[in-house]
Structure 1
Amino acid sequence: IFKHSHKICLLSISNNYCSPKLRLFASKAYKPYKRQLYKNRIIEIMSESVNKSANLKIGTHDGRFHCDEALACFMLRQLELYKDAQIIRSRNEEVLSTCDIVVDVGGVFDPNIKRFDHHQKSFSDSLSSLRPEFGTTYDVRLSSAGLIYVYYGEEIISSILKKEAHTLLDKKSLKMIYLMVYEKFIQEIDAIDNGVPMFDGEPTYSIYTGINSRVQDLNQRWKLTKEPYDSDGQFRKAVELVGSEFVGKILTYTESWLPARSLVEQAVLNREQYHKSGSIMYMENHCPWKEHLAQLEAEYNIEGQIKYVIWGERDADYRCQAVPVTPESVICRKFLHKDWRGLRGDELEEVSGIPGINFVHHNGFIGGAFNKEAVLKMAEKSLLGDYTD
């Protein structure tokens, strides 16, 4: 290890694992004529860094646990500083005062002293209130998971992507992933922990298989069994359970959602080259597009302009889909021509006057053709059709 210490240090530097002191000593150790002088100090500094992480403590409450503090603890341990930190579960303030960071207990929210509880009456913060640069949309009251995400989220995402996917995002992409993970994962945990309803009124049915429910199921059952209950062991399972899903979301949005957005953006920018109306968009490579299109239209200030999206499934198989009014809606901005709906094959060709057209769904949201010319004609005639449904 002494013989190759300069290589070890350079590897550490390239992965941002070292302190400024280690970076200084590593650069000097690389010079052969000074290697012997500095190698012992390099190893000493590296050991100090590892020991510091191992000696740190993350505090949270004991007893019945919930999804938010399990995720908060997992996220903290993705950071280099806390990667080997011990998790201390207690409600005793004397014990908590020995911890380096405390989540979901203690009745104090103060990031300056690393206290992140949300239960106190005075607390009402949301992502939007603490990070106003992201707008006013995210107004759900934060849980301990949301608090840790607000203050450390970008660093946590970067650490996970570096470790799991060997990926480094640019600033714009990191912001998009940060907001997507909050909106599609963290916000749900915040809302459920704080008792925020999804909507007014009573739901038709309830969901019992979500991540919050599965974490709850790891708590002690009311009917005691003969075997002793290991609360800390079960909490560790909860941390790993919610953590694995959190990592999965980050990887999905980075490796699938983000590349799809680039493809949709290119199609949006090229739409007038494909059709002069600007209302028909062609995608060279088909991918999930509805959510991306809605976001991009807002960004480019062209909301509602694109009526149809065309793509090829494979050779001799093309699709034309009407754009919904929202990504989740079944109502479209302009359905395919009403006279074609539910028709197929020769009958559809005769009624539409388009050779190569082969089907239109009975509600008019999608249709198909055997070639690009036919599928474009389908969109053009529908665009000019005098109907509103």
Structure 2
Amino acid sequence: MAESAPKRLKTDSTSGSVLVGTHSGHFHADEALAVHMLRMLPTYRDSSLVRTRDPKILETCHTVVDVGGEYDAQRNRYDHHQRGFTTTFPGKNTKLSSAGLVYMHFGRDLIAQSIQQASSKANADADAAVDSSSDVELLYNKIYENFIEAVDAHDNGISRYDRDALQAAGIEQRFSSGGFTLGAMVGRLNPAWNDPKPADADEAQQAEDQLFLTASRRIGEEFERTLDFMTGAWLPARTIVQQAFDQRTKHDAEGRILVIEGQSVPWKEHLYTLEGEGNPSVLYVLYAEGTQPGAKWRIQCVPETQDSFTSRKPLPEAWRGFRDAELDGVSGVDGCVFVHAAGFIGGNKTFEGAMEMATKALAL
């Protein structure tokens, strides 16, 4: 039986708000996230939502996600279930879900909006924050890779690894992941098979819709945290590392010492990306322990890879495990604080001392 449009449509025709449609029944991470991403944008901020599979009701919607068997961005239709759908994000092989489709079309707007908000919080010129389309494009691809693609793959039944290859290699899972995925988190918010269900169809639908809204908010909060971090912390850190990378030959003609001035920032991922453009390898990174005057300085070895514990050039073996005056005597550098027993990090009371440690370590 077709659903009753007057009962299901939750919109005020005089309010001017748009109506977003998605399917009723068991909900998934992709449409939950798609709806939330849309509602982050000004056009959809006050939008109403209807969850239905009735084509006549869906026809009345301004935007439809994950239902309707149609992908047509001009008409705001974002389904991926139809036969022959093979659309992927640029440069990727994972077939898109409704989340990926919405992100592909609206992601740049979400990122530019977030950059402006981060800039406003920092009391900077908001317009200046988005004058570089390269920053938006960088985050557009990065956020898809780090967040959205996992949702697309989950909804389309795509595994992270080739199971046959793992089996052939004799690789077995050591323990359960415990369902700690975005898809599993949303899935657990669906009604259980034996949960009491209201006898009245409209009441039952309203109860299910409330659970969907909870799921949409939950996964949406995770997306917003990722977006806020990438625009408010990751991108500014990249700018600082870029500046340090561009000036690295000031401290060593071969560019082997990177100095991060001011506040220390996460640097590894950015450094490897910059080096991936064919630049010489950095061996040591110097940064202050804090922003207060007289803060001590650290010298940290660059690992061979981002997840490696092996340094490209560890600090000299003769220095390792010593501290303070003993280390001063062993290294011939004043103001030493420590060198870790594994040789991957050390410290000095001053920038000059840390730089001398780096320079001497390069020569040994």
Q: Does TM, scored on the shorter chain, surpass 0.5?
A: yes
Alignment-derived partner of residue 183 in structure 1:
145
Q: Structure 1's 322 and 121: CA in aligned 2 closer, same or farther, altered over 3 A?
A: farther
Change (3 A) 1:110 1:173: same
Equivalent pair of 1:337/1:381 in contact (CA under 8 Å):
no
Alignment RMSD = 2.6
Aligned-partner Cα distance in 2 for 1:165–1:209: 33
- Does the CA-based 8 Å contact 1:53-1:81 persist in structure 2? no
User: 1:221 is matched with which residue?
Assistant: 192
Return the alpha-carbon distance in structure 1 between the equivalents of residues 160 and 22 of structure 2: 27
- Check 1:366–1:163 CA distance in 2 against 1; reply closer, same or farther (3 A cut): closer
Aligned to 1:306: 282
Aligned to 1:280: 257
Q: Is 1:204 equivalent to 2:174 in the alignment?
A: yes
More moved, 337-346 vs 66-75: 337-346
Cα distance in 2 between the residues matched to 1:341 and 1:148:
53
Change (3 A) 1:378 1:245: same
Matches within 5 A, 1:103-114: 103-114=65-76
Partner of 2:6: none
Corresponding residue for 2:5?
A: none
- In the superposition, the TM-score normalised over structure 2's length comes to 0.80
User: 1:244 offset after TM fit, Å?
Assistant: 2.2
- Structure 2 counterpart SS, 1:94: helix
Contact 2:20 2:62 survives alignment (8 Å): yes
Q: Distance in 2 between matches of 1:373 and 1:165?
A: 34
User: Does the CA contact (< 8 Å) of 1:53 and 1:84 recur in 2?
Assistant: no
Deviations along 1:89-109, whole A, 9 cap, x unmatched? Answer: 122333323322221123332
CA displacement, residues 157-188 of structure 1 (integer Å, 9 cap, x when unaligned) = 33455578744422222223322322222122
Deviates more, 1:312-321 or 1:344-353: 344-353
1:112: Cα distance to partner? 3.2
> 1:116: how far off?
1.6
Question: What amino acid maps onto 2:261 in structure 1?
Answer: E
Distance in 2 between residues matched to 1:126 and 1:52, nearest whole Å: 36
Pick closer, same or farther for the CA change 1:276–1:160 going to 2, 3 Å.
Answer: closer
CA contact (8 A) 2:237 2:265 kept: yes
Structure showing greater relative contact order (alpha-carbon pairs closer than 8 Å, 6 or more residues apart):
2
Return the alpha-carbon distance in structure 1 between the equivalents of residues 361 and 153 of structure 2.
43
| 1:295 has 2:273 as partner | yes
The answer for unaligned runs of 5 or more in structure 2 is 1-12, 121-125, 167-171
Structure 1 match to 2:345: 366
Query: Which residue is equivalent to 1:330?
Result: 309
The verdict on how the C-alpha distance between 1:270 and 1:162 changes in structure 2, with shifts beyond 3 A counting, is: closer
Gap runs ≥5 in structure 1: 1-49, 129-135
Asked whether the 8 Å contact 1:215–1:238 carries over to 2, the reply is yes
Native 8 Å contact 1:100 1:114 kept in 2: yes
Q: Percent identity?
A: 39
Of the three residues 305, 318, 321, the one matched with 2:297 is: 318
Alignment of 1:151 with 2:105, yes or no, is yes
Q: Report deviation, 1:63.
A: 0.6
Measure, in 2, the Cα distance between the counterparts of 1:311 and 1:146.
Answer: 39
Q: In the alignment, what sits opposite 2:362?
A: 383
Structure with the larger helix share: 1
Contact 2:111-2:231 at 8 Å conserved across structures? no
Q: Structure 1 counterpart of 2:105, which letter? A: Y
> Which aligned pairs between 1:100-179 and structure 2 lie closer than 5 A?
100-128=62-90, 136=91, 138-159=92-113, 166=120, 167-168=126-127, 169-170=130-131, 171-179=133-141
Distance (whole Å) between structure 2 residues aligned to residue 347 and residue 60 of structure 1: 68
Q: Give the whole-Å Cα distance in 1 for the aligned partners of 2:335 and 2:114.
A: 49
Aligned residues: 325
| Counterpart-to-counterpart distance in 1, 2:316 and 2:118 | 48
Superposition TM-score, scaled by structure 1 size: 0.75
Q: Larger deviation: 277-286 or 338-347?
A: 338-347
> Residue 347 and residue 207 in structure 1: after superposition, are their counterparts in 2 closer, same or farther (change >3 A)?
farther
In the alignment, structure 1 residue 76 sits paired with structure 2 residue 38: yes
Tell which deviates more after alignment, 239-248 or 222-231.
Answer: 222-231
User: Residues of 2 paired with 1:290 and 1:149: CA distance?
Assistant: 27
- Alignment-mate amino acid for residue 74 of structure 1: H
Name the structure 2 match of 1:268: 245
CA distances 1:10-39 after superposition (whole Å, capped 9, x unpaired) = xxxxxxxxxxxxxxxxxxxxxxxxxxxxxx
Contact 1:53-1:82 within 8 A present in 2 as well? no
Alpha-carbon distance in structure 1 between the residues aligned to 2:118 and 2:340:
42
Quickly say closer, same or farther: Cα 1:121–1:357, change in 2 above 3 A: farther
Equivalent position to 1:235, from 212, 225, 240: 212
Q: Secondary structure at the match of 1:127?
A: coil
Q: CA deviation at 1:267?
A: 0.8
